[in-house]
Amino acid sequence: MTAERFYADVMQHGKLRTPSHAQRLTGAVLHTLGFNLSGGIKRELARALPPALAGELTRGWRLAHFRNTRISLEDFAADVALHSGNTDPLYNRMATAAVFGQIKRLIDDDLSRKVAKDLSPEVRELWNSA
């Protein structure tokens, strides 16, 4: 699947107006997801994604990065909002689910289970239901 097709599917499932909105939101979700996965799982997921999407997952760094293994869905959605420019938390949860669903279409079930296991309980629930 190409990145353009991925964005078109996110646009449709996330009820977005344009592919550029889908691209911006996808980048925000992947960036936030990247900070909430352990290094090994993040690298494995990046290898399974198209290069444009993998770059969004692995971009960025923090001076002192300690994963919040208990991040709430609300805080995860707030981080997505920070990076996407959309401040509506309910919308960000729905759109994050759309991106999660498309990511899961690109990867095998084993990797999907590894990602789910590595996420906080609340974010894991959204990942599993997407």
For each of the chain's 130 residues, which pLDDT tens digit applies? 788 899 999 999 888 889 998 999 999 999 999 999 998 999 999 999 999 999 999 987 654 567 788 999 999 999 898 888 777 777 788 889 999 999 999 999 999 999 999 999 999 999 999 9
d(CA 65, CA 117): 20
Phi-psi region of 85 (alpha: psi -120 to 50; beta: other; left: phi over 0): left
d(CA 63, CA 105): 33
CA angle in degrees (0–180, nearest 5) for 19-119-104: 40
What pLDDT is attached to residue 61?
62
Q: Looking at the domain covering 3-8+18-58+70-129, what would its CATH class be?
A: mainly alpha
